[in-house]
Amino acid sequence: MPSIKELKETLAYSCNILADEGHWDNILGHVSVRIPGQDRILMKPHSFGFEEIRPQHIIVVDLNGKKVVGKYERHSEVFIHTEIYKARPDVHCVVHSHPPYATAFGSLRQPLRPISHEGNVFYEGLPLFDYTTALIRTPELGKEVAQSLGKCRGVLMINHGSTVVGPTIEVATLYAVFLEKAARIQLIATASGEPSWTNEAEAEIKYEQIYTPHRLDSMWNYFVRRAKKSRKSM
């Protein structure tokens, strides 16, 4: 079981990776992780861009959305995180961001197809949250997001962005990166013609072939190496 120190370090790298992979949106967007054995989460604070986050910036928030430890302000959309954690015991990390391709794709109300390898991650479905386009600043709206997410790995939020979940920071971060690429590939393909895509049965097989735990570990380590280079250049 990772320590708080280790979780903060991994969460900071998650933010840096998201910045490098097109999820940057000024100071907006946030990532969180459950603290093992507690009804609390670690979370990126407000007022910093993804690329700026380091372990010392991370704050602690309870599942009612109240900041309990940390120097910096919490995000107003904390309830995306807290209500998903309440609804999904299997989820240990939540990534909410505003990447351009996933945001554009969500506005079209089209199903995500497994055109690229990354699309196969969401073979079980990628729902659309269209209850509101406003910010999720109340527990009630957070519950609506969690309900739309259901048992899936991610949800598009119409005219807003995306929310992706996973059993670890590493997996949720990679899934968020993969969703943005899958949306980009589908937008490119459909703009050019009538694309083909992997059928439902093969999509599950391809997911199991490509995104094994060992490969996900290797992919995460690759993105961390890139994030370290980005840190040095700042």
Per residue in 126-168, pLDDT (tens digit) is 999 999 999 999 999 999 999 999 999 999 999 999 999 999 9
pLDDT of residue 232: 87
**Under 8 Å between Cβ of 17 and 177:** yes
90-to-33, 213, 231 alpha-carbon distances in Å: 12, 16, 32
Give the residue among 52, 55, 48 at the shortest CA–CA distance from 16.
52
**Under 8 Å between Cβ of 167 and 174:** no
**Under 8 Å between Cβ of 176 and 154:** yes
Give the residue among 53, 4, 28 at the shortest CA–CA distance from 162.
28
Give the DSSP letter string of 82-94.
HHHHHH-TT--EE
| 100 contact partners, CB below 8 Å, separation of at least 6 | 22
Per residue in 197-214, pLDDT (tens digit) is 999 999 999 999 999 999
Whether pLDDT at 1 is above 90: no
- The mean pLDDT of the chain is 97
Strands annotated E in the chain: 30-34, 40-43, 59-62, 67-69, 93-97, 128-129, 154-157, 161-166
Contacts of 68-73 with C-beta under 8 Å, sequence gap 24+, read 68/40, 70/45, 72/45, 72/46, 72/47, 72/48, 73/45, 73/46, 73/47
207-to-41, 118, 177, 204, 214 alpha-carbon distances in Å: 29, 8, 15, 5, 13
Predicted confidence band of residue 83 (pLDDT cuts 50, 70, 90) = very high
Segment 58-84 shows an average pLDDT of 98
- In the sheet with 30-34, reading across from the earlier edge strand, the strands are 67-69, 59-62, 40-43, 30-34, 93-97, 161-166, 154-157, 128-129
Whether pLDDT at 234 is above 80: no
